[in-house]
Each structure stands twice: as C-alpha cells, then as structure tokens.
Amino acid sequence: MDDFEVFEELFSFDPIFAYNEQTVNKILKCRRSMENELFMDRLLKTLGIEQGHDLYPPRSNQDLRDLHQQIIDSPSPDHHKQSVLYYILKDMPDRDAQPAVDFAKAVFLPERYRIFMDGIWNLDRAKFAQAVDYLTEPVLIPTFPEELIYTLCTHPDQRDDKLPLAYYHTVSPAITSPKVLKALFSVLAKASVTDAFFWARKQDGSIYRVLLEQLIGSILDEKEGEERARHSMELIQLPFSKEEEVWFETYLSEGRGKNLPDAGETLRIRNMITGRTRAITDSGNRFGANSNDRMDWSSLGGIGFESSSALQYSPSTRTLDDARERKMRDEK
C-alpha cells in the first residue's frame, strides 16, 4: 500500500470513523495508571511528535485526521510511521474486516515491528500477560526495556510477579536507572531472598548498599506470618562479607532500619548464628535488655540453619532466651 499517506485510503473501511467516548475514556484511564505516559506517547516522541498527549487519543474524526497527518509529516522512516499507524488501526472496534492486519500485510510491515506493536498495544491496555508473550519473542530488539520492566513491576493492576521476571530473564537488558533497579529488586526479593541478594551484589557499589538495605527493610516490614518468618530465616543466613556485615548491623542498629519490627531481634539472632558473642552483648545494650522486640521464630519449626556456626537452630529453639540458655550450657 503506497497510499497509506492518504487518510481516505488508510481508513477506507470507514473514512468518517471517530473514537467513541468509552474508548477515549478507557485510554485516558490507562494513561493515568501508567504515571501519565503511555508507550504510544513514547512512540510518537520517537517520530518527533512531542504533543502526543494532545493528539492521542483523538476525540473526533478531524482529530484522527490531524494525528494521521502529523505521523505522515514525520521525517522518520516509513516502517516507523507504518508501525504507529498499525497501532492506531488496532484501536478500531471488532468488525468483519481487520484493518490493522490487512494494513500490515499490504505494506509488508516487518514481523518484528508488528510483534513489538502488538506487545506495546496490549501493554497500554493493561493486558500484561498478552503483552509479555509478544515482547519476549526472540526476533525483537529490546526497545524501552527499562520502561517496560518498571511498568510490569509497579503498575497497580499488574499483580503477577512472574511477568516482569519473565521479561527480564528473557531479554536480559542492561538497567541503569536506580528507580527501575529498585522496582525490579523488590519483585526479585519476593521470589527469592537469596537470589535477590546475589543479584544485588552484581550492581555498582553505591546502589548495592541501597538495595541490600531495601531487602532487609522489605522483609522486616512484611505482615507477620509464615512467609515473613521464612524470608527472615533466609535473610539471617545470607553469606555476608565483612563489609556487608557492617552494613547489615549499621542499618538495623543505627540507620533507618532500627525502628523496624524485630530489628533488634534479627540482629541478635544473626550475631548468634555467626558466633559473634561480643556483638550480641553490644546489640543487647543498644536495643535494651528488656526490649519487647521479639520475633516469633517458632513458626519456622523444622527449618534448620545451614550455617556451620556454633549455634544450630532446631524446632525446640522457640525464642531468643531459649537460644541463649542453650548456648550457655554448651559453653559449660
């Protein structure tokens, strides 16, 4: 189709077509839920069209014509303009004809462009599973990867943590934005504390400490229950380096984590399983001997420490006081 630049030819199925109010409101709602920027807005910017918010979604047939003309007037390559027009044609209501599919065939739109636009269109409509299916296709060159990950991690209607992880592990993009790193790390930590820890280690030193503190804080701030107890158990068994050990202790005793639930108890148990008896006394003094800071470790019955340290956890080790008495007996 060489005449995609002519509106009447591109929209020959309905030259007077206009988006209805329901469609416009749905698109606007999706934009608000994505921190006021659709991926369509980003696509228009790549064509040099900065006023995307004003042009899309078009409210009338004339607005649609104006949007089409702006796209056609862009100095971008034809296949970029055709890709955005393909996206717009996907907005057309269900009908016997499939204008988007027919258009892609007519202009020989490369497969990877069509697949990418299918993914972006579904993402902008909050159809996250379908979007990830398209966006993880091997033929694609990663485009907007950090923005995609951030959206999959933080969108209020996206509750399946497997989706951002599937995209990240399939595409393996380089992530430089601290905001995106923190969002992805939060999802990684929910899946596996240990895996999140080793992933954080690979990041630059400045962000690494921030991520480690984020990991500690997110676990201690979880709602009480078996999952929190299991995550806490993973946390206190992590193989910290000397520097990481200092970060851990500083965060829980002096930093922003000192007022988190069970901060003192977590630090004391960590010191105990690593055999740092002097640190146990010091942390007890810092948090107070009569502190009510007690974590219910009894919910972890049957899970053993994998550490080779002096104190080994068993189902009978129900509280920190029991653990202290046992250690004193062992030392005698």
Q: Write out the DSSP string of 92-127.
A: SPP-SS-HHHHHHHHTT--HHHHHHHHHHHHHHTT-
How far is residue 14 from each of residues 28, 175, 237, 262, 276, measured CA to CA in Å? 24, 44, 65, 65, 77
Which residue, among 183, 157, 190, 156, has the nearest Cα to 168 in the 3D structure? Answer: 183
Q: What is the CA radius of gyration of the chain?
A: 27
Residue-level pLDDT at 318: 35
- Cα separation of 249 and 228, whole Å? 20
Does residue 124 contact residue 113 with C-beta atoms inside 8 Å?
Answer: no
Cα angle for residues 274, 255, 161 (degrees, 5° grid): 80
- Cα separation of 81 and 54, whole Å? 18
Kindly report the pTM of this predicted structure. 0.80
Residue-level pLDDT at 329: 52
How far is residue 190 from each of residues 48, 162, 274, 305, measured CA to CA in Å? 39, 10, 25, 20
- Cα separation of 255 and 251, whole Å? 4
**Helix residue ranges per DSSP H, 128-192:** 128-135, 145-154, 162-171, 178-191
Per-residue pLDDT for the chain (332 aa), expressed as one digit of tens each? 568 999 999 999 899 999 999 999 999 999 999 999 999 999 999 999 988 899 999 999 999 999 999 999 999 999 999 999 999 999 998 765 589 999 999 999 999 999 999 999 999 999 999 999 999 999 999 999 999 999 999 999 999 999 999 999 999 999 999 999 999 999 999 999 999 999 999 988 779 999 999 999 999 988 888 888 899 999 999 999 999 999 999 999 988 998 998 888 898 888 888 876 554 455 555 544 434 444 554 444 333 433 333 223 333 333 344 444 544 555 55
Residue 77: how many CB atoms within 10 A of its CB?
Answer: 10
Residue-level pLDDT at 42: 97
Residue-level pLDDT at 198: 96
Q: Helix or strand or coil: residue 21?
A: helix
Residue that has been written with the tokens 């949007």 in this structure: 67
